[in-house]
Amino acid sequence: MALSFINTKVPREWWSDSPTSIAAIRAKLDKPDFPTEIVNRLLRVLEEMEPLIELGDQLYNFSSPSIAWENMMGTGGYVIVRDGVVIHAIMTVCN
């Protein structure tokens, strides 16, 4: 499965307030209320994303504003930030 990279100019205001980690994301997926198909897809994304993260990088969730979702233009996923700059943006959801 190839990652869905998007423009790395994901605005800072779209990022979550604090960084996350691969382990934290995996822990969230370990809940029975998530459909197996979605969990398996996201686990594959994490496997492909992990080698892109270097020591000192930060990983954030991101989501476009609600108006984008309301207009069927929403995107969400993860950004890998190095020295304050997004080096990879991986889209995991859109509408």
In this prediction, residues 50-56 reach a mean pLDDT of 93
Domain-embedded: residue 3 = no
- CB within 8 A of 28, min separation 6: which ones? none
Per the structure, the count of domains in the chain is 1
Domain-embedded: residue 16 = yes
The answer to whether residue 69 scores a pLDDT higher than 80 is yes
Residue range 12-46, pLDDT digits in tens: 999 999 999 999 988 888 877 878 888 888 888 88
- Token pair of 5 as six digits: 């990279």
pTM (two decimals): 0.85
Of all helices (H) and strands (E), which one includes residue 47?
Answer: helix 36-49
- Give the domain range for residue 19: 12-94
pLDDT category at 55 given cuts 50, 70, 90 is very high
64, 79 Cβ separation under 8 angstroms: no
Residue 74, SS3 per DSSP? coil
Domain-embedded: residue 41 = yes
Interatomic CA distance for residues 72 and 17, integer angstroms: 24
Domain-embedded: residue 5 = no
| Closest CA relative to residue 40, chosen from 52, 53, 30 | 30
